[in-house]
C-alpha cells in the first residue's frame, strides 16, 4: 500500500526524485500517515486522542485533516501548507490537491448543535485535481476526472471531466471532453476563459 502511494506520487510530481525522498520529505505523506492513525481512533470513538494526533500532524506539516474525513487510496497533497480538509469530507482514489486548498463547510457558526452529524463538506470523486488556493465549499460533489483551477471557488456540484475556473467557478471544458493532459493546476491562460 505504501509502495503504491509513493509510486503514484512519483508519477504525478516531476520533482519527486525517489521514493525515499518522498517518504522522508513530503509533508502530504506525513499528514496522510498521521490521518490514518487519527481516523482509526475517530472510528473507535476516541475523539480526543484522534484530535490530538490531528493537531500534532498539523503542527508538523501545516496540513489540517479532520480525523473523521474519509480518504481513498493514493491521495497526494503537493506542497501542502495551508490545506484544510473538513470533518465530513470524502476523497476518492488518486486525488491530487495543491497547497492552500480548503475542503470546507458553508454552515454558519450559529446553531452548531443542529449541524452535528450531517454532511457539511465536499465529496471529491476519483482522479480529481484541485489547484492551489482553491476553495471547495459545502456538501457538494466534484465529479470524476474533474479539475479545479488555482484560486477558484466552487460552491455547486461539478460534473465529471469538468475544468472549473473563477469566482464563482465555471466549467470551461469544451464538449465535456477529457482534459487531463490540458489542465494546468496552477491556473489557466486568460484566453481559455469564456
Q: Which residues on neighbouring strands pair with residue 142, listed in sequence order?
A: 124, 158
Q: Please, what's the largest Cα pairwise distance for the chain? A: 51
Tell me whether residue 99 is one of the annotated catalytic residues: yes
Which is nearest to 122 in space by CA: 99, 109, 148, 104? 104
Query: From the candidates 35, 66, 99, 121, which is the catalytic residue?
Result: 99
Residue whose grid cell is 469538468: 162
What cell was used for 97?
490537491
Which is nearest to 74 in space by CA: 150, 151, 2, 165? 2
Dist CA 29 CA 44 (whole Å):
23
Local structure of residue 143 (DSSP, 8 states): P
Residue whose grid cell is 465555471: 170
Dist CA 176 CA 67 (whole Å):
35
| CB atoms inside a 10 Å sphere around CB 3 | 8
Residue positions annotated with a catalytic role: 99
Amino acid at each position: 500500500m505504501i509502495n503504491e502511494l509513493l509510486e503514484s506520487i512519483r508519477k504525478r510530481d516531476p520533482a519527486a526524485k525517489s521514493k525515499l525522498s518522498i517518504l522522508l520529505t513530503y509533508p502530504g505523506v506525513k499528514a496522510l500517515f498521521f490521518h490514518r492513525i487519527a481516523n482509526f481512533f475517530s472510528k473507535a470513538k476516541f475523539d480526543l486522542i484522534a484530535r490530538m494526533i490531528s493537531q500534532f500532524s498539523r503542527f508538523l506539516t501545516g496540513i489540517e485533516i479532520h480525523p473523521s474525513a474519509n480518504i481513498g487510496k493514493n491521495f497526494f497533497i503537493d506542497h501542502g501548507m495551508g490545506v484544510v480538509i473538513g470533518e465530513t469530507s470524502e476523497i476518492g482514489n488518486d486525488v491530487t490537491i495543491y497547497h492552500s486548498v480548503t475542503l470546507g463547510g458553508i454552515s454558519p457558526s450559529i446553531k452548531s448543535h443542529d449541524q452535528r452529524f450531517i454532511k457539511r463538506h465536499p465529496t471529491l470523486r476519483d482522479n480529481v485535481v484541485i489547484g492551489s488556493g482553491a476553495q471547495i465549499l459545502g456538501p457538494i460533489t466534484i465529479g470524476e476526472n474533474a479539475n479545479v483551477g488555482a484560486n477558484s471557488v466552487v460552491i455547486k456540484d461539478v460534473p465529471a471531466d469538468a475544468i472549473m475556473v473563477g469566482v464563482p467557478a465555471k466549467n470551461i471544458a469544451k464538449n465535456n471532453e477529457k482534459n487531463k493532459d490540458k489542465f494546468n493546476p496552477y491556473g489557466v491562460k486568460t484566453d481559455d476563459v469564456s
